[in-house]
A and B are shown apart, each in its own frame.
Chain A
Amino acid sequence: MLWVDKYRPKTLDKVTVHDQVAQNLRKLVSEQDCPHLLFYGPSGSGKKTLILALIKQMFGAGAEKVKMENKTWKIDTGTRTLEIELAMLSSAHHVEMNPSDAGFQDRYVVQEVIKEMAKNRPIDAKGKRAFKVLVLNEVDKLSREAQHSLRRTMEKYSASCRLILCCNSSSKVTEAVRSRCLNVRVNAPSEDQIVQVLEFIGKKENLQLPAGFAARIAAQSNRNLRRAILFFETCKVQQYPFTSNQAAPPLDWEQYVSEISTDILTEQSPKRLYAVRQKFYELLVNCIPPESILKKLLAELLKKLDADLKHEICHWAAHYEHKMRLGSKAIFHLEAFVAKFMSIYKEFLVASFG
């Protein structure tokens, strides 16, 4: 088992990083009634861990027996019947799904699954909670219609079903949905906290950590705990006992992007642009999200530029990322950004050095 899963806190008591949040959640659960919840925060900050621990706290061990199924929803829209297939994880007490996978039909999925849950409502057996929990991931990627259709559904079926929504940025969740939930902000753990966690794992695994080793990994992880633990395990596999100046190798794609940045800084020409296109394609076919590529590229470029240019470049990065979101083919916008950068940079070079 990967360390990320092995050392995931299973109960709210064991949560170390967000103990304040965990305490509040425990209070909510002990009061028997629980509002709809919206967890938001950057990735790798522990949203999922908190949600799983919370569900366990609510329902006990029964919630841990999950099965994965591919369910097909048959939805009658009046004129035709839609068939939507969606993977979901379910236990006796909760269902977890990723409705945005259904694309533009996500609206039907959201309505249908909630209504179905409300229909076969669990019986209030021995003072157990008489509701099920529906965990929806990536609500920020839900279409506007789907979010709208959540509004009233949430209120109507609140007796039989509680929603736990999980997303990266709450800006993309409509105000109407946000105001119906208890918002829980999960911030990224600080580097010190990451160091603590790494040292804890090191102790459990009986590893000798050289001084400063954990801090280095933490710094490299960008305050992403999951990534830090993965780095840590990679290092362990690579070489143990650790040497004092060992560092985790950067991710393949990040290295690749930094190569691209050196490429376009050394030469600005249509030919180079063409060469860079191949590299972008390479990254995209390997399923690296285009916005991550753009962000990383910007970060790499910012390291090497003059202050005046930085303003200009970050403006254009934001501009093309926005266009990318509106458009449908990412490669155009990545290329446009590179071309724009090349022209600005070339002009700058000519102006300063002639």
Chain B
Amino acid sequence: MAPLVPMSQPWVEKYRPRQVKDVAHQEEVIRVLTNTLQTADLPHMLFYGPPGTGKTTTALAIAHQLYGPELYKSRVLELNASDDRGINVVRTKIKDFAAVAVGTTRKAGYPCPPYKIIILDEADSMTEDAQNALRRTMETYSKVTRFFFICNYISRIIEPLASRCAKFRFKPLSEEVMSSRIMHICNEEGLNLDSQALSTLSAISQGDLRRAITYLQSAARLFGSSISPTDLISVSGVIPEDVVKSLLAACRSGEFDVANKEVSNIIAEGYPVSQLMAQFLDVIVSTDDIPDEQKARICKKLGETDKCLVDGADEYLQLLDVASETIRALFNMPQTLVF
């Protein structure tokens, strides 16, 4: 009989804060929500900010703290992009749920305010029609229902919805906050992480705590309990510095064929080009001996190319285009050929 293995759980879920006060680094929203816990008074909420800053966590935590495990199922409706959220769902499911009045049954230890909560996660992927259909629903049933919208880009939420909510921006996590959280997990899991690895982890995850924890777990699975910076880089998909440097070196040579060869090499190695562009940008910007005008020209090209990649254009051709434009910029060749 094999030993009973505990159900494996991603650390992201395992260490998700269960209480609002445990959410790191977002003071304003926590202050408002702890108030709510005492007064049971809650406006509609709109959380926005970059991924991995605790938006969903906060929403789930407040819902759990308000209702407790028993009432949670009947009082909270959680919808995200995995569920179908077209206009039909708004008209039927959400409306039906919102319309139901709630009793005042109380469970000991929880405030159990007399309204329900609908959490719309990843709300920026809802269609505009669906958002419009929500407007009136929100107002009509505001006595018995509160809405939580969660999104990355507030500009994708239509103005009428945004103006009905209390808006909270979630800041990217600072390095210290992130480090202390990571150290906490390392202690719990019995991992060895030196300060150098810790700063690498903060650097590659760019303020996204979920990403940092995922990297940490992947590295721990692959390399055991002591983790070095290179291990972290290899699981994160960040491209090693010298690859980016050698691309720039190839461009500096001024030879198209040299650059072409380097580009084919990078594609064959399977590095993701969008990631490469981001790092190439960093290298270009931080290089001292390239004049500003040339830098600007290269950066413009990078921007255009990024859009093309998002549209699904071929990686090889786009990277080659960037390399060729970089050569032309570095050697001050004109943008278009004039004969």
The residues of A with any CB-CB pair to B shorter than 8 Å are 24, 27-28, 31-35, 40-42, 45, 77-79, 111, 126-127, 145, 148-153, 155-156, 158-159, 169-172, 175-176, 178-180, 182-183, 185-188, 222-223, 291, 294-295, 298, 302, 307-312, 314-315, 317-319, 321-322, 325-326, 344, 347-348, 350-352
- A148's partner among B8, B122, B214, B268 (CB-CB below 8 A) is B122
Q: Please determine whether A314 and B273 come into contact, CB atoms closer than 8 angstroms.
A: no
Chain B residues within an 8 Å CB radius of A314: 256, 317, 320-321, 324
Contact with A along B120-132 (1 / 0, CB 8 A): 0110010000000
Chain B residues within an 8 Å CB radius of A169: 272-273, 315
Complex CA–CA separation, A264 to B86 (angstroms): 50
Complex CA–CA separation, A152 to B150 (angstroms): 14
Complex CA–CA separation, A159 to B270 (angstroms): 30
Chain B residues within an 8 Å CB radius of A317: 317, 320-321
Chain B residues within an 8 Å CB radius of A148: 81-82, 122, 125
Q: Please determine whether B256 and A179 come into contact, CB atoms closer than 8 angstroms.
A: no
Q: How far apart are B298's CB and chain A's nearest CB, in angstroms?
A: 14
Q: Please determine whether A315 and B324 come into contact, CB atoms closer than 8 angstroms.
A: yes
Nearest residue, chain B, Cβ from A28? B221
Nearest residue, chain B, Cβ from A302? B260
Q: Please determine whether B237 and A170 come into contact, CB atoms closer than 8 angstroms.
A: yes
Q: Please determine whether A149 and B81 come into contact, CB atoms closer than 8 angstroms.
A: yes
A-B pairs, 4 with minimum CB distance: A127-B2, A33-B8, A351-B339, A41-B270
Complex CA–CA separation, A310 to B235 (angstroms): 37
Q: Give 7 A-B contacts (CB < 8 Å), ordered by A residue.
A: A127-B2, A155-B13, A170-B272, A171-B274, A185-B237, A311-B325, A314-B320
Q: Please determine whether B221 and A35 come into contact, CB atoms closer than 8 angstroms.
A: yes
Task: Determine, out of B177-185, B287-295, B306-314, the stretch whose residues face the partner at the interface.
Answer: B306-314
- B270's partner among A149, A188, A326 (CB-CB below 8 A) is A188
Q: How far apart are A30's CB and chain B's nearest CB, in angstroms?
A: 10
Complex CA–CA separation, A151 to B339 (angstroms): 52
Nearest residue, chain B, Cβ from A188? B268
Q: Please determine whether B221 and A78 come into contact, CB atoms closer than 8 angstroms.
A: no
The residues of B with any CB-CB pair to A shorter than 8 Å are 1-3, 5, 7-10, 13, 51-52, 80-84, 86, 88-89, 92, 121-122, 125, 208, 210-211, 214, 217-218, 221-222, 235-237, 255-256, 260, 267-275, 305, 308-309, 311-318, 320-321, 324-325, 327-328, 333, 336-337, 339
Given contacts A309-B337, A311-B328, 14 further A-B contacts (CB under 8 A): A27-B221, A35-B10, A127-B1, A151-B122, A152-B82, A178-B237, A179-B51, A179-B214, A183-B236, A186-B270, A188-B269, A307-B256, A308-B337, A311-B327
Complex CA–CA separation, A151 to B83 (angstroms): 11
Q: How far apart are A18's CB and chain B's nearest CB, in angstroms?
A: 11
Q: How far apart are A42's CB and chain B's nearest CB, in angstroms?
A: 6
Complex CA–CA separation, A175 to B305 (angstroms): 18
Q: Please determine whether B92 and A78 come into contact, CB atoms closer than 8 angstroms.
A: yes
With contacts defined as CB atoms under 8 Å apart, how many contacts are there between chain A and chain B in the complex?
170
Chain A residues within an 8 Å CB radius of B314: 291, 295, 318, 321, 325
Complex CA–CA separation, A311 to B214 (angstroms): 41
Chain A residues within an 8 Å CB radius of B89: 78
Chain B residues within an 8 Å CB radius of A24: 222
Complex CA–CA separation, A182 to B218 (angstroms): 6
Complex CA–CA separation, A32 to B80 (angstroms): 30
Chain B residues within an 8 Å CB radius of A159: 7
Q: How far apart are A249's CB and chain B's nearest CB, in angstroms?
A: 23
Chain A residues within an 8 Å CB radius of B327: 311
Nearest residue, chain A, Cβ from B267? A42
Given A41-B270, A187-B269, is A176 in contact with B312 using a C-beta cutoff of 8 Å? Answer: no
Q: How far apart are B58's CB and chain A's nearest CB, in angstroms?
A: 17
Chain B residues within an 8 Å CB radius of A42: 267-268, 270
Chain A residues within an 8 Å CB radius of B121: 152
Q: Please determine whether B13 and A348 come into contact, CB atoms closer than 8 angstroms.
A: no
Chain A residues within an 8 Å CB radius of B51: 175-176, 179
Chain A residues within an 8 Å CB radius of B272: 40, 169-171
- A151's partner among B82, B260, B316, B317 (CB-CB below 8 A) is B82
Q: Please determine whether A295 and B317 come into contact, CB atoms closer than 8 angstroms.
A: yes
Given A151-B81, A348-B337, is A172 in contact with B317 using a C-beta cutoff of 8 Å? Answer: no
- B82's partner among A78, A156, A186, A344 (CB-CB below 8 A) is A156
Chain A residues within an 8 Å CB radius of B267: 42
Chain B residues within an 8 Å CB radius of A79: 88
Q: Please determine whether B214 and A315 come into contact, CB atoms closer than 8 angstroms.
A: no
Q: How far apart are A232's CB and chain B's nearest CB, in angstroms?
A: 19
Given A172-B312, A321-B314, A326-B311, is A183 in contact with B235 using a C-beta cutoff of 8 Å? Answer: yes
Chain A residues within an 8 Å CB radius of B321: 314-315, 317-319
Chain B residues within an 8 Å CB radius of A321: 313-314, 317
